[in-house]
């Protein structure tokens, strides 16, 4: 199959560049335990993973990406700091037709586990990708999920509301519906109002695994929520301004510094963004050509919780990103059973690179 051979050849060249940058090549099994790992991905990947049954090992899946197995291997005993690279196929069911919508394709990836200077590590990965992909004339976008999370944590409202909003950072529609609810923009649903007045007690036997105590706890939470003041309109407006921010990186930084005067909770993350941009400039990245999009990454991998980036083809918005990545510190904590390490990485799709004319 010529297309596959071209993908592999391009991937091999990318892998060589990753090795030259200091990455130690690692392998990951194609068959991965589904139950343990599938939970770590968002709904999108979970719905698209090929899951099958193994007579001895239970539910197994064809690996839908490398990051989770690589993190797992590192947390199980990798030395620090570490730089890894890999090349191999990933498998995702496709629900829509289209030439780039293939169910198996190569990924070449580079992952950095380093505590010393997270912003420098972010810049290292982005700059490496940017330099490699330069011949393709792609559009680069960056964002910062951590910035959004800090903004939510800084809201003057109930902790339960903040947790609910944080849980839906990656699902913008539900996030904004909840925000409207907490801000008093959407009225309380009739059934909930009746429940809180104590009139709606259904006459039905209890069925199912969810317990009465769980229901009572939620009713108590709803009552506490009903007592609490709505989130102030000014705070919602700030949050909306932040989430809608999209501008060339240097301009975005200036506007974020401005926003941070009214939203002190994002100030540390804005300072980190400034350090990250300076590190990128030091590595020769033209910042004016990089778009900072505050909502970037909100609909992709749920394990990204900091810096995120992508490289896309401007002339064809139907194509998936040629490269993407981000920081996933929390994932290392989940897989590290008590231990964690700042980590950042990304993948390139060699098949798309080859289709676009290759790296030279």
Partner 1 sequence: MLKLGVPSKGRLMEQTFEWFAARGVKLRRTGSEREYSGAVEGADGVELVLLSAGEIPRELSAGRIHLGVTGSDLVRDKLADWSAQVAELAPLGFGHADLIIAVPTAWADVDTLEDLDAAAAAFRRQHGHRLRIATKYHRLVRDYLQAEGVADYQLVDSQGATEGTVKNLTAEAIADITSSGETLRANHLKILSDALIHQSQATLFVAMAADWTPDASMALDGLCAQLGLTSPRVPASL
Footprint of partner 1 (CB under 8 A): 39, 43-44, 46-47, 94-97, 164, 167-168, 171-175, 177-178, 181, 189, 191-192, 195, 200-202, 204-211, 214-215, 217-219, 222
User: Which pair of tokens denotes residue 255?
Assistant: 């506007």
Work out how close the CB of 50 gets to partner 1 at its nearest, in angstroms, rounded to a whole number.
14
Work out how close the CB of 52 gets to partner 1 at its nearest, in angstroms, rounded to a whole number.
14
Count of C-beta atoms within a 10 Å radius of residue 353: 27
274 contacts 119 by C-beta, under 8 angstroms: no
Q: Which is nearer to partner 1, 84 or 328 (CB)?
A: 328
Work out how close the CB of 112 gets to partner 1 at its nearest, in angstroms, rounded to a whole number.
29
Work out how close the CB of 58 gets to partner 1 at its nearest, in angstroms, rounded to a whole number.
14
Helix or strand (DSSP H, E) at 7: helix 2-20
Q: What are phi and psi of 20, to 5 degrees?
A: -65, -30
User: Which pair of tokens denotes residue 91?
Assistant: 């498998």
Work out how close the CB of 334 gets to partner 1 at its nearest, in angstroms, rounded to a whole number.
14
Q: Which is nearer to partner 1, 116 or 204 (CB)?
A: 204
Side-chain-facing half-sphere of 175: CA atoms under 13 Å? 20
The single residue listed with the structure tokens 């540390």 is 268
Count of C-beta atoms within a 10 Å radius of residue 33: 16
Please name which of 113, 86, 111, 75 lies closest in space to residue 29, comparing C-alpha atoms. 86
Q: What are phi and psi of 189, to 5 degrees?
A: -60, 150
d(CA 224, CA 105): 49
Work out how close the CB of 171 gets to partner 1 at its nearest, in angstroms, rounded to a whole number.
3
Q: Which is nearer to partner 1, 96 or 339 (CB)?
A: 96
Q: Which is nearer to partner 1, 43 or 117 (CB)?
A: 43
Q: Which is nearer to partner 1, 173 or 261 (CB)?
A: 173
* 3-state secondary structure (DSSP) of residue 312: strand
Q: Which is nearer to partner 1, 188 or 247 (CB)?
A: 188
Work out how close the CB of 318 gets to partner 1 at its nearest, in angstroms, rounded to a whole number.
13
* 3-state secondary structure (DSSP) of residue 106: strand
Q: Which is nearer to partner 1, 116 or 209 (CB)?
A: 209
């Amino acid at each position: 199959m010529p297309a596959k051979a071209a993908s592999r050849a391009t991937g091999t060249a990318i892998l060589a560049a990753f090795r030259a940058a200091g990455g130690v090549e690692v392998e990951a099994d194609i068959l991965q335990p589904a139950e343990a790992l599938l939970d770590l991905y968002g709904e999108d990947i979970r719905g698209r993973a090929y899951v099958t049954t193994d007579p001895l090992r239970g539910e197994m899946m064809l690996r839908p990406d490398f990051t989770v197995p690589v993190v797992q291997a590192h947390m199980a005993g990798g030395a620090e700091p570490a730089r890894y690279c890999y090349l191999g196929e990933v498998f995702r069911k496709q629900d829509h037709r289209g030439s780039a919508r293939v169910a198996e394709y190569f990924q070449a990836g580079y992952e950095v586990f380093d505590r010393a200077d997270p912003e420098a590590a972010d810049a290292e990965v982005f700059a490496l990708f940017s330099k490699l992909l330069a011949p393709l004339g792609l559009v680069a976008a960056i964002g910062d999920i951590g910035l959004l999370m800090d903004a939510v944590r800084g809201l003057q409202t109930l902790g339960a509301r903040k947790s609910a909003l944080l849980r839906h950072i990656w699902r913008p529609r539900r996030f904004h519906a909840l925000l409207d609810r907490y801000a008093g923009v959407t009225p309380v649903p009739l059934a909930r109002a009746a429940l809180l007045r104590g009139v709606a007690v259904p006459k039905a036997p209890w069925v199912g695994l969810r317990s009465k105590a769980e229901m009572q706890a939620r009713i108590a939470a709803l009552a506490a929520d009903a007592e609490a003041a709505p989130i102030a309109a000014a705070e919602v407006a700030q949050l909306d301004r932040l989430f809608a921010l999209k501008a060339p990186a240097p301009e975005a930084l200036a506007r974020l510094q401005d926003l941070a005067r009214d939203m002190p909770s994002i100030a540390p993350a804005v300072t980190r963004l400034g350090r990250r941009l300076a590190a990128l400039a030091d590595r020769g990245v033209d910042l004016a050509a990089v778009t900072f999009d505050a909502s970037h990454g909100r609909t992709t991998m749920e394990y990204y919780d900091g810096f995120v980036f992508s490289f896309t083809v401007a002339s064809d918005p139907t194509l998936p990103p040629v490269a993407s990545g981000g920081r996933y510190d929390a994932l290392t904590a989940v897989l590290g059973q008590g231990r964690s390490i700042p980590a950042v990485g990304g993948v390139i799709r060699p098949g798309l690179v080859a289709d676009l004319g290759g790296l030279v």
